Amino acid sequence: MSKFKALPGFRDFYPDDFAVRAHIVGTWREVARRYGFQEYDGPPLEPLELYVEKSGPEIVQQLYNFTDKGGREVAMRPEMTPTLARMAGARAGGIPKPIKWFSVPQLFRYERQQRGRLREHFQLNLDILGEEGVAADAELLAAAVDMLRAFGLTAADFVARVSDRRLLRALLLHAGTPEDQLTLVYNIVDKLEREGRERLIARLTGEAGLTEEAAGAVVDIFRHRELDAVREAYGADPEVAAELARMAECFAMLEAMGLRDYVRFDLTIVRGLAYYTGIVFELFDTRGELRAICGGGRYDDLLKRVGGTDLPALGFGMGDVVLRELLADRGLLPETARRVDFYVIAVTEAERSAALSLVHGLRDAGHSVEYGFRVQGVGKQMKAASALGAARVAVLGADEVAAGVANVKTMETGEERRVPVEELLRP
């Protein structure tokens, strides 16, 4: 046993694990293609400054950062959005809008380890830049939903919980939250599900300095579970009414796409990151057993602050860790067995050259081919072929080589047939 182990929160991908990862990333790429997104990537190491302020305190606490040998303050990327904002800002002028880009970076966060949260993960990032209309929000939500549908998950398995920071802002102001306390109040209500009413009121009055009455009014906002209920309670406030109208439009578009069952209005979705400005959402398993599978939303000011180009933007991140758990729970992980089309057997050393030639020809024709590196008895080679799960075995003895054929056995049926090598090599 080696005395070395992977660091806590970091994974080794043995072939079976890698096959699952490849399945996940491959499915993401396929759906991104269907939606017309183009793939990009950036550096895994960035200037520390890119994340300070932009991402907010939660992520900054979790940074893997250090001073490099040139004295630069650097950080491993904990998320992709600031890199995207930087890259797009530099080129956006010359690219037709909307820009639709996706990426699957490996990200690093020094998190407290818990189920569904590691210190590295792969995260699909899908972002739309340069479109401020709500149609883009609906399209983004549809893409997030379809990413999961493509794995065989249905509305019984997951739901997108959708809110809007502008709506929440209007409601919080209506409840009597001072404007300069909004960010702090977002952070407090972000923990709404985990903390009880009393504790929240204590934090709102203590940390954010709200009056008892305003704190009570803030907590009451979240009792409303439907868009209509919010409209009934607060719709007389014109600012609230305008924000509600946009949300209703977004839901109507999702309805038209046939995806209404997958989305639910939920004001408790705030999002931990600092840069969101509009519709925000998170995807969860319906049983409520796992952490968020996906999170995202609109961040219309970030490009101006990071990239120097004023472009509205929206996007989401979907991690591989929770998704993999959900697929495993629902029995939706793919078969990871390797596929061997042919195992080629040389009966004696004398047929070795002919066997190598056949192996190579079959591979050129596109087949997956295995053979033994050492010539052993035919029985042993047969065993090796079975152990690998080979579909067919091609045996070359002196007679076969002389006749330009191979004795091909189909392993499932046991059927054996002499097949001309020429025929085997036809693509």
* 293 contributes a contact to ligand HAM by CB under 6 A: yes
Backbone φ/ψ region at 190: left (φ over 0), alpha (ψ -120 to 50), beta: alpha
Record the tokens describing residue 346, joined without a space: 């040389």
Site for ligand HAM in 121-150 (CB under 6 A): 121, 123, 125, 127
Residue 257 Cβ vs ligand HAM, minimum distance, rounded to whole Å? 21
- Rounded to an integer, what distance in angstroms lies between the CA atom of residue 49 and that of residue 192? 30
Residue 69 Cβ vs ligand HAM, minimum distance, rounded to whole Å? 28
Strand 392-396 to strand 158-164: parallel, antiparallel, or no bridges (unpaired)? unpaired
* 89 contributes a contact to ligand HAM by CB under 6 A: no
Residue 403 Cβ vs ligand HAM, minimum distance, rounded to whole Å? 59
Segment interacting with ligand HAM, rule: CB under 6 A, options 45-53, 212-220, 294-302, 338-346: 294-302
Residue 128: beta bridge partners?
Answer: 100, 314
**321 or 359, CB closer to ligand HAM?**
321
Record the tokens describing residue 302, joined without a space: 């970030």
Binds ligand HAM (CB under 6 A): choice among 172, 321, 394, 406: 321
Is residue 159 classed as helix, strand or coil in its secondary structure? strand
Residue 78 Cβ vs ligand HAM, minimum distance, rounded to whole Å? 8
Segment interacting with ligand HAM, rule: CB under 6 A, options 116-124, 201-209, 255-263, 393-401: 116-124
What's the helix, strand, coil split of the chain in %, to 5?
40, 20, 40
Segment interacting with ligand HAM, rule: CB under 6 A, options 28-36, 73-81, 173-181, 202-210: 73-81
- Rounded to an integer, what distance in angstroms lies between the CA atom of residue 159 and that of residue 120? 25
HSE at residue 77, side-chain half, CA atoms within 13 A, is: 19
One symbol per residue from 246 to 275: x for binding ligand HAM (CB under 6 A), - otherwise; what is it?
Answer: ---------------------------x--
Buried b / exposed e along 327-351 (16+ C-beta atoms within 10 A)? beebeebeeeeeebebbbbbbeeeb
Site for ligand HAM in 9-68 (CB under 6 A): none
344 close to 400: Cβ distance less than 8 angstroms: no
Binds ligand HAM (CB under 6 A): choice among 46, 79, 157, 400: 79
Binds ligand HAM (CB under 6 A): choice among 292, 327, 382, 394: 292
Binding site residues, ligand HAM, CB under 6 A = 79-81, 109, 111, 117-118, 121, 123, 125, 127, 273, 292-296, 315-319, 321-322
